[in-house]
Each structure stands twice: as structure tokens, then as C-alpha cells.
Structure 1
């Protein structure tokens, strides 16, 4: 059994309730601890800037009709790896955001877990 310090904590930022809950359940089934889900950019930034340990994040690019660049900035500023989920083309964003790892909607179950594990491992090996 994994010790609490070994469990990867993933922030889920998604404004569609059903998709957020589906992601939460999938991640928990894969052994992750889920923080959130946060349903708005404000809620997400509050969680990111709190005392929660966050190992990675899954962030819907568009939250309630607004592109959530402030959420991405808060995560990047803290060195937290993130996976952007979107139905939009990242090429429409300012240059620094175009190279973020992205997973297109609709989401595939195994793909998300594998990509999050990879992001966490890359972060750990870089430190």
C-alpha cells in the first residue's frame, strides 16, 4: 500500500461538472489523490496558492467562457506540471502557452493517467 507521501496529488480544473467528476473518479481509480475539482479560474488559483501540495494539474483551457491563463500562470510560477485539456487550438494563444502539453477533448481514460504520471516523473527527475 502506498504511503501518503507517495500518493500523487492532482488538481483538476474543469467547469463542466460531469467531466470534472468523471476525471476525479478516473484519477482516484488509478491511485491519485484529487484536489478539487475547481470549477472556476478563481477557485483554481485559490487552491494553487494555498498550502495544498500539488504534484500536477489538469486544466481545462476555457472556464465558463473565459480562457484561464491566470490558472496556468499560477501553476507555472510554482513549477507545477500541467496538462491542458481543450477542444481549442493552442496556436490561437500567446506564444509562451503554445508549447504546453495538451490533451484534446473528448478525453481518453488511459491517456490522461499516463500523461500525468509522465509529467510528475519528469518533474521529479529534473529536481
Structure 2
């Protein structure tokens, strides 16, 4: 049974009708992430490799459902973006070339994937998280 504009998500398209922000400055990884999320039905915003651009997007009030944040983007730490997402109750995960020690204590509860990233594991996790959200 299908209600009006309800979007049917299938196991192969768990992100149908959902938008995911990707903030990642490593070109090939950003491209792989975007491709995988699109393959699973997501409307990908980005990938953005500039924190000012990401902050401007957040200030614009544009809505999206979840985000993947590289912790270090062009030598800047992504935590201000993470803080804004948290205030808006948008689920996100970190991707990083660092170990857990690089994550500020306030974000200790945020799941993180160390590079090289298992992209399908990140996508599976976010799909589950959005279903619970």
C-alpha cells in the first residue's frame, strides 16, 4: 500500500528520496562515496571540499537527511560544521585519516571510519540510522 508522495525504498535503494551531504577533500574518495550513495538512491549534495562552502550551505537553511564529514578538510577541522548538524539534529558520521584521538571529546559518540574507508559499511550504517531517526 502506497500513500501519496511516500517514496518506496528498496534494499538496493535505501536512500531513495533522501539527500546526503558529503564533505571530503580527497578527490577520489569523494567521488567513490558520491557514486556509492547515488547508486543506493541518494540525492548527493557535494562532495564539498571547502568548509566555508559547507557552512554557507547550512546557513542557507537547505535541508538534507544525513552527512559524511571528513575531519580534516584542507587543513581545517570540520567540527564547526558538525556542531551545526548536531544543533539541527541531522545524523552524521566522520571519516578520517587519523585515529579516534583526533576527535574532540564532545563528538566522542559520533561513529567514525578510518581511511581507507569501507564505503558500503558507512552506507549501510547511515541507512540504518536514517530508518531509526
Match of 2:67 in 1: 57
Is this contact kept in 2: 1:90–1:97, CA < 8 A?
no
C-alpha separation in 2, matches of 1:62 and 1:80: 20
Do structure 1's residue 70 and structure 2's residue 80 form an aligned pair? yes
- What is the Cα deviation at residue 21 of structure 1? 1.3
**Matched residue, 1:47:** 57
**Superposed, which structure 2 residues align to 1:36-115 within 5 Å?**
36-115=46-125
User: Which has the larger helix fraction?
Assistant: 1
- How far did residue 115 of structure 1 move? 1.1
- Which sections of structure 1, spanning at least 5 residues, go unmatched? none
TM-score (norm: length of structure 1):
0.86
Root mean square deviation of aligned Cα: 1.8
* Structure 1 range deviating more: 33-42 or 87-96: 87-96
- Tell me the matched-pair count: 121
Gaps of 5+ in 2: 1-6, 9-15
